[in-house]
Amino acid sequence: MLTRSVKNPIISRKDVPNIYPNAVDVSSVFNPGAIKYNGKYILLLRVQNRGRETFIMQAESANGVDFKVADKIVVFNGLEKIKEKIYHIYDARITKLENKYYVLFAMDMDDGCKLGLAKTESFEEYEFLGIISEGDVRNGVLFPEKINGKYLRLDRPNKVQLEGGPSSGNTICLSESEDLLKWKTVKSVMSGRFHYWDENIGSGPTPIKTREGWLHIYHGVATHFASSNIYQAGVSLLDLNDPSIVLARGRYNILEPREMYELTGQVQNVVFPSGMVVEDYDDEGFALTDSKVLVYYGAADTVVGLAVSTVKELIEASKQ
């Protein structure tokens, strides 16, 4: 139900311009946040240089497939005021909320991974608003509207140490806030299914509002294979008024590593969905069931892939 673009991988290291001194001859570009803004498709890419330093770069496209990467590294104004060392910034998710655009990203720091929040109105300047998590958390994503008077986000505390790899987690939580800056965890939403495709999980792109519920794409990691973890994409449907209620959750993944650029690379066997654009909405802001959906994902932590579906097909997949 997800069809890969014939142009995949749509972005790879050769598409990233050299920026002296931090981004010269980069190693990889992956895990993009995505949004449609003024008719253009915008991606915020995770770029890694040969020092294995990670930062965010922006790409733009008129058709959602052919992207041009801008020749500057995204600067989050105000981030320089954080006194603690920030090793990496990565895995940005973009959400339109109250006519502004918010970027939620992961920051590796000495005491674990934190969520950083930035705001932009035009994708030219970004204002850093603060660190909005406590403890070790990743895969934060904001809902595109207030629900019952509160801002909501999904996030994923890191509680599981992958063998030989990073810390991960097996429960996605719902957190709420009055002001986008101070957050508290409300409830857990869904947990990994031990033995199956999604043992560890984390949210992907910003959830999409449909008449049937919030369409929520997430990644699942199968950890029970001897040689490597397998990162796949799956889908669930969350209640519109209380997104901690899971209305449906697909038994099967909707995208798994199959192509060479997903099977091999910096980290083998990874598809990691982090951006999604739905083309058509009705007058009340619900995604149309026949609308095309573009899912942008990182492949093997090395390149960017695109896979296309429809709202209807994704909802059906959540019920299978």
CB–CB of 266/300 below 8 Å? yes
298 interacts with ligand BMA by CB under 6 A: yes
Among 15, 212, 262, 301, binds ligand BMA (CB under 6 A): 301
8 interacts with ligand BMA by CB under 6 A: no
* Distances, alpha carbon 25 to alpha carbons 13, 44, 50, in Å: 8, 19, 8
Q: How far apart are CA 35 and CA 123, in angstroms?
A: 11
261 interacts with ligand BMA by CB under 6 A: no
Binding segment toward ligand BMA, per CB under 6 A, in 115-123, 169-177, 240-248, 265-273: 265-273
Sheet with 183-191: list strands edge to edge.
137-142, 151-157, 171-177, 183-191
270 interacts with ligand BMA by CB under 6 A: yes
CB–CB of 308/296 below 8 Å? no
Among 19, 43, 91, 151, binds ligand BMA (CB under 6 A): 91
Among 49, 168, 206, 232, binds ligand BMA (CB under 6 A): 168
Closer to ligand BMA by CB, 110 or 124: give it. 110
155 interacts with ligand BMA by CB under 6 A: no
Q: How far apart are CA 320 and CA 311, in angstroms?
A: 15
Query: The tokens of 252 are what?
Result: 């099967």
Closer to ligand BMA by CB, 172 or 315: give it. 172
Q: How far apart are CA 177 and CA 263, in angstroms?
A: 39
**Binding positions for ligand BMA, rule: CB under 6 A:** 31, 90-91, 166, 168, 231, 267, 270, 272, 298, 301
